[in-house]
Structure 1
Amino acid sequence: MGTDISGFIEYRTSEGGKEAAWYVAHDLDSLNDTRNYDAFGCLFGVRNYANFRPLAAHRGLPGDVSAALGARFAQLAEWYGGDGFHGHTWITWGEVKAVDWEERAEKPDKRLHQYHETPQGRRMMGKSGWSPAFAKAVGLTKGEEREWPEGSEWLVGDVLYRSVVLRRKDAVTATGEWQPVWRAMGDLAERHGDDNVRLVVWFDD
């Protein structure tokens, strides 16, 4: 079973002289409903196979969530009994703006990257946490995990396996599924300020 992300973008403002409060602006599903474990790990430390230093992991739900978000989460908890929800956390637009997207993960990806050699050059096929063919070729026992130095390569049949260290921009690309989220947060921040806009998320399996 896979892991999916849910959440809301909130902004904080005061109206009519009242104390500043948080309000829901967007449901995350309307902007990004893609299951991308590299991004989940890079941003929030969930399914962090790529070994990033997470930007905003294990913070929990904010104590001052908006009324709409609080009601929605309570409704979900009632429907599902809270089972499967995990990784509750949040990140402000100010923190997103400060990210060094060139920053490398702390260790090589736990999954070896797989490539085929084609007349047009090397083409990536995917990533594998376990490959019987590779395990047999290098003498791994079933379920055994090993950390391979960056750049290590093995040609097994017609598949090249390589140990790779990702950068943040590989996980959260400049043209990928997170850009609508960043644009929405940036637009709100122009009116309310960088630290008055945040993304609140949680995960379910």
Structure 2
Amino acid sequence: MGTDIDGVIESRSPDGRWQFTADLLDFQPPRDYVAWECLFGVRGAGDVERPLFAGRGLPDGVSDPVRETGLGDFQHSHTYATWAEVAAVDWDAPLAHGPAWNWAVRAQPDGDELVRVTPGLRGAAADTFGSDLLLAPPEWPPGADVRLDGAVYRPVVLTARMLAPPDEGCWAQVWIAMRDLAARYGDEDVRLVVWFG
């Protein structure tokens, strides 16, 4: 059984009350555990040590739709981010202290590609470095490459831009909507509130 995301964009009115502005589901977010781990610390493969907006709970003064649909026996992992926080993200900063266990970079003639580490790649690393164990990228010697089926693989330290690009897909649309609302209400007065179920 999978996990789904739900949420809203809220804005703060001049009287200080948070109001519903947009439904996150209108942006049609896919079931993307990779992006969710990066952004909110939910699901994923465990390679993200520092998700961007994880574990904050519900903010104060949520709008009626959040109280009506975001609270219940099956909703969990509530968190939020203001536009000011999203705008300040360094999308190229490392999300962990070292290389990912479940991801590698495959060198391509037209640019590198982020790929999942397979048992075959771990086996090729063991063959390359003389081990009888399947070796994940953090176990490869520093600066080492692994060749498999004519491609070259390298360890990678993950960034938010790799896992949840801010200028692609539904999250780009969410950020644009928040930015546009912030131009009217203020950077601290627009926030995304999400939860999972």
TM bracket, shorter-chain basis: 0.7 to 0.9
Across the aligned residues of Structure 1 and Structure 2, the Cα RMSD in angstroms comes to: 2.9
Is the contact made by 1:52 and 1:104 (CA closer than 8 Å) also made in structure 2? no
Counterpart position of 2:116:
127
Query: What is the alpha-carbon distance in structure 1 between the residues aligned to residue 79 and residue 178 of structure 2?
Result: 16
Q: 2:191 aligns with which of 182, 198, 201?
A: 198
Query: What is the alpha-carbon distance in structure 1 between the residues aligned to residue 162 and residue 120 of structure 2?
Result: 27
Deviation for aligned residue 1:126: 3.0
Identity, % of aligned positions: 37
Counterpart position of 1:167:
159
Matches within 5 A, 1:24-39: 24-39=20-35
Q: Comparing both structures, which one devotes a greater share of its residues to strand? A: 1
What TM-score do the two structures reach when normalised by structure 2? Answer: 0.78
Cα distance, 1:170–1:116 mapped onto 2, change above 3 Å = closer
Is the contact made by 2:107 and 2:113 (CA closer than 8 Å) also made in structure 1? yes
What TM-score do the two structures reach when normalised by structure 1? Answer: 0.75
Matched, 1:109 2:100: yes
Query: What is the alpha-carbon distance in structure 1 between the residues aligned to residue 92 and residue 69 of structure 2?
Result: 36
Cα distance, 1:61–1:152 mapped onto 2, change above 3 Å = farther
Q: How many residues align?
A: 187
Gaps of 5+ in 2: 127-131
Gaps of 5+ in 1: none
Matched, 1:97 2:94: no
Deviation for aligned residue 1:40: 1.9
Query: What is the alpha-carbon distance in structure 1 between the residues aligned to residue 62 and residue 45 of structure 2?
Result: 26
Deviation for aligned residue 1:114: 6.2
Q: 2:178 aligns with which of 182, 185, 188?
A: 185
